Structure 1
Amino acid sequence: MEVVEYLKPLDQSRKKTPKPVIIKWKDVKMVRNHSIRAVAHEIKNMSANQDFISINVIGKQSTGKTELCKNLACLVHQMADVPYNVLHLGKEELLNLEETMSNLKPTNHILIFDDIAFLSATASKQQIDQIQQVLSVIRHLKGGKDVKIILFKSFQYTKAISPFMRQNDMTFISSVDDNEMDNLITLLGKKNLSKINLLRKMQVQVKIGEKDKSYFHYPLGNKDKMYFKYHAKHPFLPYLYYNGSSCRMVVSCLRTFHTPICQVCDNPKESDETSRNLELFVNDFTTKFGTERNAKSIIKIMMMQAGKNCYNPRVAQGVRYVEKFLEKKLLSLDELAKVFNVEPTKTVLHHSKQPDFEVKP
């Protein structure tokens, strides 16, 4: 089998057909049609048009379901025109879903329910009925506040949960089991059988390769027998994506591949440890940099960098004014800085000013 990374030029005598295009994402090559960012854009658009979206992620253990949910959640909230909070909820939060939802802040949420197949095995009928009742009104938060909800549900088999819980707008398949073939054909349609078989073949390639040296191959054409080679988990893994209308292959990565630190996705829950860390920060910072006023100014700047304005309305309006002026390219930001005697400052964090992190016993 010949493995290539670029397309073989078409014979001009043959009929021209659409051909895959190879692109780069952070210097890693991939087939453009496999873009997970394009999928995130579809989810973002759907969320703008309807207030509740349910997404199923189906596949065996260790096939990347959880990381796919985390990656899509991060990409969607980055693309969205409205703010979203991202929450990863476990077994206890799901079994006590009514209480979980009552404690949510009145903002838009992306919720990830991981491996919920346990409901069929361990949850009582009363618990399942309560969960289904809460899900039916999930976007109506306590206090009459209506918000947008994007719900990810991962489980191992297509019929592992009740028909109500299986309702969805989009489906991702991370693996293909022989016992699941009939169910997958019913779910995705017989016309997509070749894509189901292709995912199964790719998953076998991922599993039988040497550690950190396994690859999976995507065919670039039916006649040329040429393939695009993906290095498995460096950073991509393959999935089937079905939006109710069409089915296609996509590849996804760890969220940290494109966003190592995300203040929305990594936002910790408030706890005793959080309180201790806050107290440690305030005491250590004021000792090294002066009053809390300095810290407030710094946090304002960092919040602005994260897309959250904490300045007064006049300052925020002024920023938008300057941005619109610069868009017309009438002046550059450096030229404006010179007019107002603003110069870049070069500095380093001295060893004596490094943060003192609390050492856990």
Structure 2
Amino acid sequence: MPRAVRFHQHGGPEVLRIETVGVAPPARNEVQIRVKALGLNRAEALLRRGTYIETASFPSGLGLEAAGIVEAVGEDVANLAPGGAVSIVPPISMVRWPAYAELANFPAALVVRHPPELGFEAAAAVWMQYLTAYGALVDIAGLGRGDVVAITAASSSVGLAAIQIAKRIGAVPVGLTRTSAKRQALLDVGAAQVVVTEEEDIRAQLADIAGANGVRVVFDAVGGPAFEPLTAALSPGGILIEYGGLSPEPTPFPLFNVLGKSLTLRGYLVHEIVRDPKRLAPAKAFILGGLSDGTLKPIIARTFRFEEIVEAHRFLESNTQFGKIVVTI
């Protein structure tokens, strides 16, 4: 029988187990994938620890991204056939459709034939990061040419995707990172400027970079005390999109910045793009176009073997990676 990663209780990486499991044939409108590579996401660590927006039912699988070969198709699936190389748009529920497995079923609407030049490792590192960044920057904020966008947690896979998307549009991406260790690497991948948050004054640096027009968009994964200087740097009518909560400190509401400049503060989950076909279609077209013309290129921090899933999760939680963590099968 095929193997899958499951956990029987909440906890650290050590609760993950590789077990043999039975896999049902794909249901109607589902596709069964022989998985070749997995992309790791912080959401999976949260589910494992019991702090995710979804609740695990033990024993629970996990995982949101995969790439592989179509093994079988369910009834009413017309545009995919066994043998095709595909990757997976993250489903709404990883408990219902877990990706950490040698053989897995997914909704056909979320199975994508990726560009043939993209290998399985790179394909497994595409959809969560680019869809998350696209949904925030393009679909919601309407980022345009010349707009300055401040991107926190810039060395994460989503942060790097946001830098690439902003560059593709012609906007000005400014990466924010805690220490200077990753400054040059962020500049090398396309950040116009880098602000080191533990060493520099965030508001002053962003004001100097953005000039009189200010920062139109903040794309934030952190929250915490930085909300005040980030909103202070926004231009009148600017928008801060929050998609994470990495800071362990409380997040203050910057009342006078919001009132004085008519700011928009908006929470965002990639699910709102995934569950809406009218919004997902242009997002997929933009991303596939960028992959084909080379303006979007997944950056892989490190690759692990399937048998090293515990070590991969430890690395995920170390916060030392630059880009995406991939596991191969």
**TM bucket by the smaller chain?**
0.3 to 0.5
Say which structure is richer in strand: 2
TM-score by length of 1: 0.31
TM-score (norm 2): 0.33
| Structure with more helix by fraction | 1
Larger radius of gyration: 1
